[in-house]
Amino acid sequence: MNFSTYINNKEVTVDLIRKRALKHTYLRLISKDLIQISANIFFTVDDAKRLIDNKIEWLEKGLVKLEKNFMEKDEFLFLGIRHKNLDFRDLDKFYKSEAKRLIPPIVEKYSKIMNLSPTSIKFRKNKRTWGSCNYKNELNFNILLMKFPIPLIEYVVIHELAHIKEKNHSKRFWSLVEEYCPDYKRRMKEFKSFL
């Protein structure tokens, strides 16, 4: 079920999805002109309008960020800079080759500084994670990290190397990250501004 609303004086479509099994209500900004609300079957359009009213500041900020980060179909980000895809390159292949070229030296640098060595480094395109470290101390990095500036990639590398020593997000883990990346909170915030 769809209806329209106005946010920042712009018309936005609201896609209301109702499912019997849902216990919670989820509000997502899909694009600069589409909001999605997923809720149980008893959630009404009036409920949806109230939810939007209650979350208006969050929605306004999110839409401003989406507008700022909006990319035309022939544009892409590489190391934080917007480029035109004039040769219509396959961006996944490009990002993967650049990740394989740029990330290993960063891992090697911080591996020596932190005295923490991964057993292997792999690259793939992930939907939800930027990096991971498994129980074998194998590091995986998302090829889409190539969209971000080098200092943000360095933060992800330090974060994943720290997981070799600390497998969870405990205080000890964050202390270790901070030791090698004192401004990690600022970098995390900057990271989110690109998303």
**Residue ranges covered by each domain of the chain:** 2-69, 76-194
Does an H or E element contain 25, and which?
none
pLDDT tens-place string over residues 32-50:
788 899 999 888 889 999 9
Q: Which fold has domain 76-194?
A: Zincin-like (3.30.2010)
Pick from 14, 41, 44, 45: which is nearest to 30 by CA? 14
CA distances from 17 to 1, 27, 43, 44, 48 (A): 7, 10, 9, 10, 10
pLDDT tens-place string over residues 174-189:
999 999 999 999 998 8
pLDDT tens-place string over residues 112-153:
999 999 999 999 998 888 999 999 999 999 999 999 999 999
Instruction: Please give the radius of gyration of the chain, using alpha carbons only, rounded to the nearest integer.
Output: 20
> How many whole angstroms separate alpha carbon 17 and alpha carbon 1?
7
